[in-house]
Structures are given as C-alpha cells and as structure tokens.
Amino acid sequence: MPQHIRKYWGKRHGRQQLNFNWGAINANSIVHVAASEYLPVTDPDAHGGFVDQNHQRFIGAANVTVSNIAPHGAPWDPNNGVTFVVNVDWPSPIYIVTDITVFDEGPAEIQN
C-alpha cells in the first residue's frame, strides 16, 4: 500500500527547495509530491495543534507547481526523505500544503 503524508509549509513565494525527512522513503523509492494553496485556521485542537479538516485546500489564482523530486537515503544520505522544488508564481507569499506519497514497491526495472 502506498503511504501518504500531508505537510503544511506556511507562506511560500517564488522557487523554494523543500525537504521532508521520512523513514518510509529511501534512495530507491518512487515518490509523488502534489501541492496546492490552503487557507489556515487558527483554532487549535485540544492538543495545541491544528485540526487538518479545518485547513481548506483550494485552487487559487496562483500557479503552484512541484518539480525536481529527489528521494534520498542510505548509502548517500543518512536521512531518509525527499527533496523537491515548489514554484509559487504569485507576487506575494501564499500558504502552501503538499501531499507526499511513497509507493511500497521500487521500480520494476532500472535502465542506464
């Protein structure tokens, strides 16, 4: 089964290189990253965090794209995770959220 995680990054603008360390990802993983705008809600839940359902994701007027997705881990990097670029084409910073998916199986074939 693929695994997913949602990460709220806060306000971003322009070209941003982001990294998310996650033990489920390794250097040979197949990873997909999607991004969108979101509207934050400032009502904390009982534990002091934010309730995900209260964050409203939406398609706004800004162009938000993801590129250069690079999973990492041993033997080249001691941290397992993924680094990627989010491009926010808007004149001022906007709130960005990503959904990161890692697939259980590695590539069926690798060609040089």
Q: Where are the domains of the chain?
A: 3-43+54-103
Contact by Cβ (8 Å): 22, 77: no
Cα(51)–Cα(39) distance, rounded to whole angstroms?
13
What is residue 102's three-state secondary structure?
Answer: strand
Cα dist. 65→11, 14, 39, 41 in Å? 15, 10, 18, 23
Residue 95: the pLDDT is 95
Residue 50: the pLDDT is 53
pLDDT by position in tens, the chain (length 112) = 899 999 999 999 999 999 999 999 999 999 999 999 998 876 555 445 555 556 788 999 999 999 999 999 988 899 999 999 999 999 999 999 999 999 987 777 888 8
Cα(26)–Cα(70) distance, rounded to whole angstroms?
10
Q: Outline where DSSP puts E strands in the chain.
A: 3-12, 14-21, 30-39, 56-58, 63-72, 81-89, 94-103
pTM listed for this prediction: 0.85
Fold of the CATH domain 3-43+54-103? Immunoglobulin-like (2.60.40)
